[in-house]
Structure 1
Amino acid sequence: MAETMRAAAHDTVLGDYLCTVDFHVAGGIAALGASPFGERRIGYVTGGSFAGPRLSGTVLEGGGNWSVAGRLDSQTSVGTMDARAIWRTDDGALIYVSYGGRSVIPDDVRAEFADPARAALVDPARYYLRIAPVFETAHPGYAWLNGVLAIGVGERTDLGARHRIYVVR
């Protein structure tokens, strides 16, 4: 019985679509360089938008992503994310979003990302960008967000990053 319950729970982890969010990083990425803790990079969020069946609005300026990169192997970079942002829904609610995540980027893809003319054209199937956002809000209409964990599948865009976000069941 316990094994059946575990299998059933595992099968339902797949999420329900929440929204797609575009984070704009107009100021670029500040690369601090290699410290004893890794290759630290900081991206400043300058805006963006999100839209889905139950919420839509804008990403406010002022959030950011504090990432650390290293090497997975001789041909691949791996990174962690530590990001925070504030979303304002179309009806005025403020939602604090924070997430960790992982990126795995082959060196040939990283070289294409370095060229602004080619960066947004790289096929997302060639790299891995995943996040696990959590939400916090005082607005009663969005209180349900306080109790969910989400997962997101990301890609680079010409303005920053886009994530399709799903609520884990």
Structure 2
Amino acid sequence: MTQENGDRPTAALASRHLCTVEFEVGGGLIAIGASPFGEQRLGYVTGGRFFGPRINGIVLPGGGNWSRAGRLEGAASVGTFDARAVWQTDDGELIYLSYTGRSIIPDDVRATFADPAIPDADPSRYYLRIAPVFETASAKYGWLNGILAVGVGERTDFGVRHVIHEVL
């Protein structure tokens, strides 16, 4: 890095709320097991909805999240996401969504996730972040093809909820 580049101010990172999506994960998680690459699981998306200031609709069944889990030092698990879904807007347009992400969940919180009788854990006690991208043939929603988004997630009794922000 030259001195000239070092003196330039860095661009500020800004965002605005794009939407909130609630993924229904029917049937729970399918534990594929621990391979040499980590503990693999699949969560099948059975439906859901998304809503925001510029985009609203339903999550079509058939998507899923292929997650992989491992361990951090201490009493927490770490995970990665490889998720895909198709959204249908209220006006009938289709949007393909894919995302990666990370989670860090302390063992005591993970134990509550496994028992449906225990109320949902406070989202401030765990870390669930995603980086979605969108693809659509829709002229109306074509602006989605050019954005990167980030989201903060939380486990719910029906699956997962992500509050997604467009990075400006």
Task: Report the TM-score, using the length of structure 1 for normalisation.
Answer: 0.94
Pairing 1:128–2:127 present: yes
Structure 1 pair 15–38 and aligned structure 2 pair: CA distance change class (3 A): same
Structure 2 Cα separation of the partners of residues 129 and 137 of structure 1: 26
Task: Report the TM-score, using the length of structure 2 for normalisation.
Answer: 0.94
Alignment-derived partner of residue 16 in structure 1: 16
Pairing 1:27–2:27 present: yes
Alignment-derived partner of residue 162 in structure 1: 161
Structure 1 pair 94–70 and aligned structure 2 pair: CA distance change class (3 A): same
AA aligned opposite 1:152:
G
Shift of 1:4: 6.3
Structure 2 Cα separation of the partners of residues 6 and 38 of structure 1: 41
Alignment-derived partner of residue 54 in structure 1: 54
Pairing 1:66–2:66 present: yes
AA aligned opposite 1:80:
T
Q: Is the deviation greater in 54-63 or in 70-79?
A: 70-79
Alignment-derived partner of residue 109 in structure 1: 109
Deviation string, structure 1 residues 91-142 (Cα, Å, up to 9, x no partner): 00000000000000000000111111225x2100000000000000000000
Structure 1 pair 126–5 and aligned structure 2 pair: CA distance change class (3 A): same
Alignment-derived partner of residue 146 in structure 1: 145
Pairing 1:91–2:124 present: no
Q: Determine which structure has the larger helix proportion and give its number.
A: 1
Name the count of aligned residue pairs.
165
Structure 1 pair 5–21 and aligned structure 2 pair: CA distance change class (3 A): farther
Percent sequence identity is 65
Deviation string, structure 1 residues 57-92 (Cα, Å, up to 9, x no partner): 000000000010000113010000000000000000
Q: Please, which runs of 5 or more residues in structure 1 have no aligned partner?
A: none
What SS does the corresponding residue of 2:110 show, helix, strand or coil? helix
Alignment-derived partner of residue 118 in structure 1: 118
What SS does the corresponding residue of 2:49 show, helix, strand or coil? strand
Regions of 4+ moved over 2 Å: 1-6
Structure 1 pair 158–92 and aligned structure 2 pair: CA distance change class (3 A): same
Structure 2 Cα separation of the partners of residues 160 and 4 of structure 1: 46
- Aligned CA RMSD, in angstroms, stands at 1.2
Structure 1 Cα separation of the partners of residues 88 and 21 of structure 2: 12
What SS does the corresponding residue of 2:77 show, helix, strand or coil? strand
Alignment-derived partner of residue 78 in structure 1: 78
Shift of 1:17: 0.3
